[in-house]
């Protein structure tokens, strides 16, 4: 029926009376919208999609009706986004999956809807959708829903409130989470709240080390805010690719296309600059802090991070007390973007400083970062535009910690030149995957690999000329 409707629509159009620009508009605005309803209830067979693509390609390339035509560029390449320099037509296979995934998202996150409750009563009455068994029973649509559940799990995460709803081993809730296939039946029933000590409100380290790998334990300790068991906020499912945490077919389609193309950041950035050249010029009016402007009183902390396209990241900070080099910290991570790396570096620096006995409630501490977006988000409480809910949780925790000290703790923007040595430390952590917290002299003496990444005269120079 769908193919017949598209053929009937094309029969009334005269392709030889339209330019290629006009044909492109007709394809985008009419032909590619016709399959949307069918895609919302099932994934179309590949044969149907191939036939639709063939009809659209013929309309786009043919010179006269019913004549043979030559495709100068493959249809698959024409479906690449405009940011990569092509026409930005919809890849119906990927676009159909993105639309169909709205059903999977509703079953996971919108359980109050009547039709979701009906599906639960029929197919998985005693468990949640996450733990429902996939079988041969049910309609074709239901089998497709269950078949795409595991693929969908990789793109969602639970944002912790009080930790009462999230299963620790069967639902993703931190970066680097993986299904624990060998876990016992008892461990599979554990929720995140069971990993928190009810008396002191801290993680139960023994349980974490028993259930998770060492790298996962580090991701939990450094990247997840400890849930407050008495909090009224419930855990909620979020879509990692969306700023507001809700599933969007548009965002999912964009992610699917980028994964298929496997474009590098440099290649994509070139075309984005061409199409949006008005955004190339730097913004004026930034308030910048030079290293020489840092006061010698109180504590000063230089923070920076390093990140690459393989998701390897390094976070580092350098602490001065009364203008004298006090200690340094560096940590390697696996993070999804550079903003998350910058945020985690600041979070680790604040945690380290607050844990020092020398820092009292009356101690003045200044943090300096070269990430303007992070500084604005913290100082102006602008959380809505952050790239992910995971980053939003960390930024909110940073804001809460700074508010505890009121005016004694400040965060300021500084140019890269002002925090360059923290940047070098972050690069070293990312490249060598070496973690360290403590006095710099021991670091320089014991680890030549780290000292080679840095300026070996740095520590002597900053002691002679503190900022």
pLDDT at 117 (0 to 100): 92
Range with lowest mean pLDDT among 68-82, 150-164, 431-445:
431-445
| Residue of higher predicted confidence among 293 and 227 | 227
- The three-state secondary structure class of 259 is helix
Does the pLDDT at position 256 exceed 90? Answer: no
- Tokens for 63? 């010179």
Does the pLDDT at position 442 exceed 80? Answer: no
Does the pLDDT at position 381 exceed 50? Answer: yes
Does the pLDDT at position 427 exceed 80? Answer: yes
Q: For residue range 187-196, list pLDDT tens digits in order.
A: 778 889 999 9
Query: Mean of the pLDDT values across residues 178-207?
Result: 80
pLDDT at 317 (0 to 100): 92
Question: Where on the phi/psi map is residue 98: left (φ > 0), alpha (ψ -120 to 50), or beta?
Answer: alpha
- Tokens for 172? 């993703």
pLDDT at 87 (0 to 100): 84
- The three-state secondary structure class of 329 is strand
CA dihedral 210, 216, 222, 226 (to 10 degrees): -50
Query: End-to-end distance of the chain based on CA atoms, in angstroms?
Result: 74
Range with lowest mean pLDDT among 44-53, 106-115, 280-289, 394-403:
280-289
Strands (E), 322-429: 324-334, 365-369, 409-413
pTM: 0.55
| Residue of higher predicted confidence among 107 and 225 | 107
pLDDT at 185 (0 to 100): 64
Query: Mean of the pLDDT values across residues 343-365?
Result: 83
| Residue of higher predicted confidence among 420 and 461 | 420
Q: Do the strands 299-307 and 365-369 form a parallel or antiparallel pair, or are they unpaired? A: parallel
What does the radius of gyration of the chain's CA atoms come to, in whole angstroms? Answer: 27
Q: For residue range 16-61, list pLDDT tens digits in order.
A: 788 888 888 999 999 999 999 999 888 899 999 999 999 998 888 8
Does the pLDDT at position 270 exceed 60? Answer: no
Confidence of residue 388 (pLDDT cuts 50, 70, 90): confident
Mean pLDDT of the chain: 78
Does the pLDDT at position 293 exceed 70? Answer: no
Does the pLDDT at position 218 exceed 90? Answer: no
- The three-state secondary structure class of 366 is strand
With pLDDT > 90 as the criterion, what percentage of the chain qualifies? 11
Confidence of residue 210 (pLDDT cuts 50, 70, 90): confident
Q: Report the topology of domain 291-464.
A: Nucleotidyltransferase; domain 5 (3.30.420)
Q: Where do the structural domains in the chain lie, given as residue ranges?
A: 2-72, 291-464
Does the pLDDT at position 169 exceed 80? Answer: yes
């Amino acid at each position: 029926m769908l193919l017949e409707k598209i053929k009937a629509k094309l029969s009334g159009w005269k392709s030889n009376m339209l330019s290629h620009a006009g044909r492109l508009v007709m394809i985008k605005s009419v032909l590619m919208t016709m399959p949307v309803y069918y895609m919302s209830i099932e994934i179309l067979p590949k044969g149907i999609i191939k036939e639709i693509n063939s009809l659209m390609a013929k309309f786009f390339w043919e010179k006269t009706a019913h004549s043979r035509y030559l495709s100068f560029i493959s249809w698959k390449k024409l479906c690449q986004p405009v940011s990569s320099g092509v026409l930005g037509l919809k890849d119906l296979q990927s676009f159909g999956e993105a639309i169909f995934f709205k059903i999977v998202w509703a079953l996971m996150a919108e359980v109050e809807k009547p039709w979701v409750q009906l599906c639960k009563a029929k197919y998985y009455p005693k468990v949640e959708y996450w733990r429902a068994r996939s079988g041969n029973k049910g309609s074709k649509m239901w089998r497709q829903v269950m078949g795409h559940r595991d693929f969908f799990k990789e793109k969602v995460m639970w944002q912790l409130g009080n930790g009462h709803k999230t299963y620790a081993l069967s639902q993703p809730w931190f970066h680097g989470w993986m299904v624990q296939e060998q876990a016992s039946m008892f461990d599979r029933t554990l929720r995140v709240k069971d990993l928190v000590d009810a008396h002191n409100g801290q993680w139960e380290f023994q349980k974490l080390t028993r259930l998770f790998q060492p790298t996962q334990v580090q991701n939990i300790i450094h990247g997840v805010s400890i849930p407050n068991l008495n909090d009224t906020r419930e855990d909620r499912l979020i879509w990692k690719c969306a700023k507001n945490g809700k599933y969007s077919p548009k965002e999912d389609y964009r992610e699917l296309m980028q994964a298929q193309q496997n474009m590098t950041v440099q290649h994509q950035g070139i075309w984005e600059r061409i199409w949006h050249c008005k955004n190339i010029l730097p913004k004026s009016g930034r308030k910048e802090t030079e290293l020489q402007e840092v006061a010698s009183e109180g504590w000063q902390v230089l923070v920076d991070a390093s990140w690459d396209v393989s998701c390897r990241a390094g976070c580092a900070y350098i602490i001065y007390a009364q203008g004298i080099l006090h200690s340094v910290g560096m940590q390697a991570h696996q993070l999804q973007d550079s903003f998350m790396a910058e945020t985690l570096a600041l979070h680790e620096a604040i945690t380290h400083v607050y844990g020092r006995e020398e820092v009292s409630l009356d101690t003045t501490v200044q943090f300096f970062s070269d990430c303007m977006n992070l500084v604005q988000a913290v100082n102006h409480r602008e959380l809505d535009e952050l790239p992910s809910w995971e980053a939003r949780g960390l930024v909110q925790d940073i804001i809460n910690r700074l508010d505890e000290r009121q005016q004694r703790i400040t965060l300021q923007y500084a140019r890269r030149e002002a925090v360059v040595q923290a940047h070098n430390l972050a690069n070293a952590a990312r490249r060598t995957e070496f973690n360290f917290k403590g006095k710099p002299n021991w670091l320089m003496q014991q680890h030549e690999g780290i000292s080679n990444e840095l300026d070996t005269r740095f520590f002597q120079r900053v002691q002679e000329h503190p900022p």
